[in-house]
Structure formats: C-alpha cells, structure tokens
C-alpha cells in the first residue's frame, strides 16, 4: 500500500479509524510503556493521556510569527483561532516555532533563510508526532519555505496567510509599504524633510499588522498557495486585521483535521495541473519575478517536473488583470473587497484560460468549483479579461551565450524604452548595445557616475547570485547615472545573476543562471563588449568570437575563478556548497533527493 499502517480500529466510521502517524509515539502500549516516554512532557503542561492516545489527529501549528518577524507577528493572535478550529473538529493542536524570516531586516538577505527554514521545518514535521500541519505563512520567503517543507514531508498540510496590512495612506493618496521609502529618502537627502517627517512618511505605508499591502512577493506567494489549492479559497487576500481573517483561521483549523481523516496530502494537491494553474494566475495578478524561483523549488520538492519554459509557454500570453501597486494603483483592501483571487480566477475560468479547473484543492473540491461565478463588482481594481491592464504580461524565458537561462517581464517596457532600444523596423524586438559591468551593488555605487554609460548601454550586475551574494541579492535593477537622468533617460536595460524586488517594475533580465560565481559566461564579459538581446528569439548573446571567450576563460581560471567574498557564518558556507541555480529554484540539491518522507519512512 502506501507504506503506512492503515488498520482500522473497532467501531469507528470510514476514514476516522485509520491508524494515525502520531500513534507511533502515543499509542504504543504494546511496547512496555514506551508511549509514556514520549508523552510525559505533554502531560506535564496539562494535556491528558486520553487526548493524546485516542486516535485524535495531532495537528502542528507552524508558527512563523515572532517579535523578530513583524510581517508574520499577527499569527500569534490568529493561531488561537486556528487552535479553536482544530479542537472543535476533534483534533489536538501543538504549536511550535519555525525559523523566522523577516524580509526587511534579515542581513545580508532573507533569501538565505528560505532553505534554512525549509530544512528545520521538514525536520520538525518528521521528528514529532504530527498527523497534519497548519502552515502560518506571510512575509516573502515564509510561504515558499512552508510549501517546500509540506512537499518534502507530504503529511496533510494547509496554509494560512497572515494577510496583508491595511492600505497605506498619505494626504489622501494610497501608499504602498516599501515603495514610499524611496520617495521619502530622496526628500530627506535633499533636506526637504527632517528625520521625524521621514519616519512619519515611511510609516504611512505600513499602517497595521500584516505583510506588504502591494502585489509584492508576499501577496504573490500567498495567492499562489491558494491557486495551487494549498490554502482555503478566498483566504489569501484578506487583510490581517479584518474579522474575516480570524474567521478564516478558525475554518483552516477545522479543515486540517478532516484533511487528516481523508488523508489528503500535498502530493494529491500540488500536481502538475495545480502548478500550471498557478503560473497562469501569477501573470493575471501581476505576480513577483521571485515567483518562478519559489514555485519551481516547491515543484522540485514534490517531484513535479516544472521549468522556465513552462512559465513562458503557459504564462507569457496571459493578460494582467489586477490593478494593484506596483503595476497599478490599488492596494490590499481594494483588492480584497473587489473579490481577490477568487474573482480573478473566475474571470480566467470564463475566458477558458485556467488550464485545469479539475485540480483538487485542500477543501476537497476542485479549483473550478471554488471560483466559478465569483466575479468582481469592482472593475477598477480587477479588470475584465477583454480589457486588461496589459496584454502578454507574463515572463519570457531567455537563453543564449551570456547565460543558459534568465527571465524578463516584457510588459513593463515603457514607450521611452521601446523608442530608444527597439526602434529598428526590420528587427523590432531586438537590440545590440555595449555593456557596463558591475561586480555587486557596492561596485555599482562606486562607479556608476564614472563608468562609460550612454543612452544605449546595457547595465550588467554580476556576483549577486545564490553563491556570489549568498542567497542572491535583489539588486539587478539599476538606475542610469545622473547625467542621463537629467536628460530624461531612466530605463536602461539591466541584466544580472541576482534578483529584483517583487515591488519593482523595471525591464530587467533577471535570475541569470549559471551565475558568474558558478562558471557562467557573465564572469567573462567586460566594459564595452557588445551584447545582443532578441526578445522574439528569446536569446541574449555576447558578441565575441569563441576563441576570445576561451582565452578569457583561461585567464579567469588562472586567477582562481570569479572571486566572491568569504562566508561569514556556517550556514552561508553550507548553503553555498549545497545550493543550485536560481532558474532551478535555488533548492538544496541533496534535499531534493528526499521525497514523500512520511510515506517512505513512516516510523522515525
Ligand atoms: Fe514582509 Fe514585505 S517585507 S511582506
Ligand atoms: Mg521583497
């Protein structure tokens, strides 16, 4: 069978009598009282033997909120309602902390901790008597870390987002968290506001508990968790402080207990069909360029083949429907009140663009049934499919001689950019330009004003991939130097082996793999070399003869390869030894070998 003991106990209803995983700890009276060794420290805080050993599902609540992770901190409250749901449905809740990840504070970058949080969560879910788990998600990396762990472990699992903050507001204008910081700092640097005004202005974007209120990586990843079927329908977009958020926490607690009884596992939900739906959804909501990294990682851990060609093929030609910052004007509350993801998916379904309405979700119904007819009443926030914000709003997958793989969101190309770079009528979607090359953000800051950069220069940022800047930095989008800015030239094309913030909208070629520090040709390119970008052919090529590339490669190897700073902590070192490239999801290569752990190794 499933490699799991499935004997039914006497007198219990269908599905309720399955011997649960937790019985390996708490229901072992055959083994001379061993169960009491595992149990006594649960009894010592007041649980009873009856609660632990009468085949009630033991449900973990993976608590990602804490004082150091403010985006998720409201989960400390929500977990109480999750717990009530679990108890009402006949389960026992055991809450435990996960490794915290706070996007804005964690240095050098929070991406380092996605895989660490994943590892520790797998270990906890495996080593303790959990029959199912409620994954409390929110801030950027917390959601993929949870989905990846659920995929590897494969016990029944359900996500609950903490929810976005309320709309930010400044003098009647909607202000997105994060985005206001750049504006405020410019004013501060120019001496137009003082330090107190700076704080007030920045905090106008962050008015309440919750994660970012724009369609950044947090809103994106939680929408995708729901689109995959791993969160209850309608749950992702509810703002953190709303009553519906607490009610959804309760429903999530109720539901996980039945998922355990039904043995509805992540591998039943996160199928190839579910990932294809999620890719389409990502385009329609204007999802972050970090989404392919995280979703490809989850797919790897659950054993579903998925690559960036799938993103291009399935996602590129989908229109952007959601009018939300950074691509549009609205924020979290508008989006939720407009119907959120259910409304977006209802439109996709009607347009025949949801590839797999039959995909099963955590509530036991299909995604099609969950979303059908849930249309918005607010066409300012969720545009009709026939009149979208933008056509062809997905990512293209680029290959060539500068890298094997990178993505670009072409829908953010401005008319000014198009005029400057894509003006050749014979070849309207290609350009050839000299490059200016920077080794990391510090080098860029030092040299951007001095480097030879004209109106038609490609800026290259390298050394900022998973190895180079351990975890991969969000620094690929670069500004033009001030002499160009003064002439109104803002958007220069950028290429890099790092990432771009989910709240940024520049036309950059991102996540280039292999990175410079991993033998990629990005390490060979020099100031003034010419590079050709062909969007139709999906290619980026370095215009140098093969023998010149070979000579440079030799020279680089003689110097010991592309130089990267030393690791500062044990984890940075382990991460660098074990991690794969961004196009492959930046997963720990050895971790991917462990799949469906709960089925393959039922008794720890
Ligand atoms: Fe945590 Fe944006 S910084 S969600
Ligand atoms: Mg971010």
> pLDDT of 87-104, one tens digit each?
999 999 999 999 999 999
The kind and range of the H/E element at 419 are helix 415-421
- pTM of the complete model: 0.96
Instruction: Evaluate: CB of 141 within 6 angstroms of ligand 1.
Output: no
278 confidence band (pLDDT: 50, 70, 90): very high
Question: Measuring CA to CA, which residue among 209, 214, 76, 224 is closest to residue 143?
Answer: 224
Ligand 2 centre to CA of 216 (Å) is 7
Q: How far apart are CA 200 and CA 534, in angstroms?
A: 45
Residues with Cβ within 8 Å of residue 457, at least 6 apart in sequence: 433, 434, 435, 436, 492
User: How much is the pLDDT for 491?
Assistant: 85
Residue 169: which pLDDT band, with cuts at 50, 70 and 90? very high
Which ligand lies nearest the alpha carbon of 139?
A: 1
Q: Is the CB of 71 under 6 A from ligand 1?
A: yes
Which residue's structure tokens are 């039904």? 262
Kindly report, residue by residue over 373-427, the tens digit of the pLDDT: 999 999 999 999 999 999 999 999 999 999 999 999 998 888 888 888 998 888 8
Structure tokens at 272: 């190839």
Residue 505 confidence (pLDDT)? 61
139 lines ligand 1 (CB under 6 A): yes
Closest ligand 1 atom to Cα of 138: 4
Average pLDDT estimate for 283-292: 96
ipTM: 0.91
Q: How confident is the model at residue 433 (pLDDT cuts 50, 70, 90)?
A: very high
> Atom 2 in ligand 1: which residue has the minimum CA distance?
212
- Tell whether the model's pLDDT for residue 201 goes beyond 90: yes
Compute the distance between CA of residue 464 and CA of residue 211 in angstroms, rounded to an integer: 26
CA distance 36 to 567: 44
Distance, in Å, from the CA atom of 187 to the CA atom of 46, rounded to the nearest integer, reads 56
Which ligand 1 atom minimizes the distance to the CA of 503? Answer: 2
| Ligand 1 close to Cβ of residue 212 (< 6 A) | yes
Give the environment of ion ligand 2: residues with CB less than 5 A. Answer: 140, 217, 501-502
Ligand 2 centroid–CA 554 distance in Å is 37
Q: 157 CB less than 6 Å from ligand 1?
A: no
State which ligand 1 atom lies nearest to the alpha carbon of 218: 4
Report the chain's mean pLDDT, rounded to a whole number.
94
Q: Separation of 132 CA from ligand 2 center, angstroms?
A: 29
Most distant CA pair in the chain, distance: 83
Q: Token digits for 465?
A: 């991939």
Ligand 1 contact via 163 beta carbon (within 6 Å):
no
CA dist 128 and 557 (Å) reads 48
Average pLDDT over residues 151-167: 98
Distance CA 347, CA 371 (A): 9
- Residues whose CB is less than 8 angstroms from the CB of residue 52 and which lie 6 or more positions away in sequence, other chains included: 22, 26, 39, 42, 43, 58, 92
Question: Which of 64-68, 174-178, 402-406 bottoms out in mean pLDDT, i.e. has the lowest?
Answer: 174-178
Q: Provide the 8-state DSSP code for 312.
A: I
Instruction: Decide whether any atom of ligand 1 lies within 6 Å of the 218 Cβ.
Output: yes
N-to-C CA span, the chain: 18
């Amino acid at each position: 069978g499933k490699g799991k003991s499935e004997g039914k106990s006497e007198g219990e209803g269908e599905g309720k009598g399955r011997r649960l995983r937790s019985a390996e700890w708490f229901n072992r009276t055959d083994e001379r009282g061993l169960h009491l060794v595992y149990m006594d420290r649960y009894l010592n805080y007041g649980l009873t033997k009856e609660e632990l050993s009468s085949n009630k599902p033991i449900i973990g609540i993976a608590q990602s909120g804490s004082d150091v992770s403010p985006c998720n901190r409201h989960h400390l409250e929500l977990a109480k309602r999750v717990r009530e749901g679990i108890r009402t449905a006949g389960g026992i809740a055991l809450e435990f902390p996960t490794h915290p990840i706070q996007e804005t504070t964690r240095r050098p970058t929070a991406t380092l901790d996605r895989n660490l949080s994943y590892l520790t969560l797998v270990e906890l879910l495996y080593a303790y008597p959990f029959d199912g788990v409620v994954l409390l998600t929110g801030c950027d990396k917390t959601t993929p870390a949870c989905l990846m762990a659920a995929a590897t472990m494969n016990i029944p699992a359900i996500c609950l987002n903490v929810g976005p903050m309320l709309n930010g507001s400044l003098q009647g204008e909607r202000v997105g968290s994060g985005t206001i910081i750049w504006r405020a700092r410019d004013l501060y640097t120019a001496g137009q506001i003082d330090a107190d005004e700076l704080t007030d202005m920045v905090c106008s974007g962050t008015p309440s508990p919750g994660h970012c209120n724009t369609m950044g990586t947090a809103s994106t990843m939680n929408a995708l968790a729901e689109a995959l079927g791993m969160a209850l329908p309608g749950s992702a977009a509810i703002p953190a402080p709303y009553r519906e958020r607490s009610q959804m926490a309760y429903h999530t607690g109720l539901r996980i207990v039945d998922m355990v009884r039904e043995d509805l596992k992540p591998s039943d939900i996160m199928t190839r069909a579910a990932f294809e739906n999620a890719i389409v959804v990502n385009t329609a909501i204007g999802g972050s360029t970090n989404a392919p990294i995280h979703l490809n990682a989850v797919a790897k851990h659950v054993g579903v083949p998925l690559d960036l060609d799938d993103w291009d093929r399935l996602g590129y030609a989908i229109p952007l429907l959601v009018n939300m910052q950074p691509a549009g004007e609205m924020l979290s509350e508008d989006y939720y009140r407009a119907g959120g993801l259910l409304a977006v998916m209802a439109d996709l379904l009607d347009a025949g663009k949801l590839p797999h309405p039959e995909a099963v979700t955590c509530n036991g119904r299909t995604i099609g049934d969950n979303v059908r007819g849930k249309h918005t009443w607010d066409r300012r926030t969720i545009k009709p499919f026939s009149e979208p914000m933008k056509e062809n709003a997905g990512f293209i997958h680029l290959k060539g001689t500068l890298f094997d793989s990178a993505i670009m969101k072409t829908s953010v190309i401005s008319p000014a950019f198009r005029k400057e770079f894509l003006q050749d009528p014979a070849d309207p979607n290609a350009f050839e330009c000299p490059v200016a090359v920077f080794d990391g953000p510090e080098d860029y800051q030092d040299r951007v004003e001095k480097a030879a950069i004209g109106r038609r220069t490609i800026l290259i940022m390298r050394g900022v991939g998973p190895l180079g800047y351990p975890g991969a930095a969000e620094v690929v989008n670069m500004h033009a130097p001030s002499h160009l800015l003064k002439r109104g030239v803002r958007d220069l094309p950028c290429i890099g082996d790092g990432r771009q913030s989910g709240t940024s909208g520049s036309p950059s070629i991102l996540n280039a793999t292999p990175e410079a520090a991993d033998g990629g040709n990005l390490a060979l390119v020099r100031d003034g070399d010419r590079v050709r970008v062909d969007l139709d052919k999906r290619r980026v090529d370095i215009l140098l003869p093969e023998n010149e590339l070979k000579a440079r490669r030799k020279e680089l190897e003689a110097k010991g390869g592309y130089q990267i700073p030393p690791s500062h902590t044990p984890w940075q070192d382990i991460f660098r030894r074990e991690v794969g490239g961004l196009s492959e999801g930046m997963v720990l290569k050895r971790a991917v070998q462990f799949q469906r752990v709960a089925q393959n190794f039922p008794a720890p």
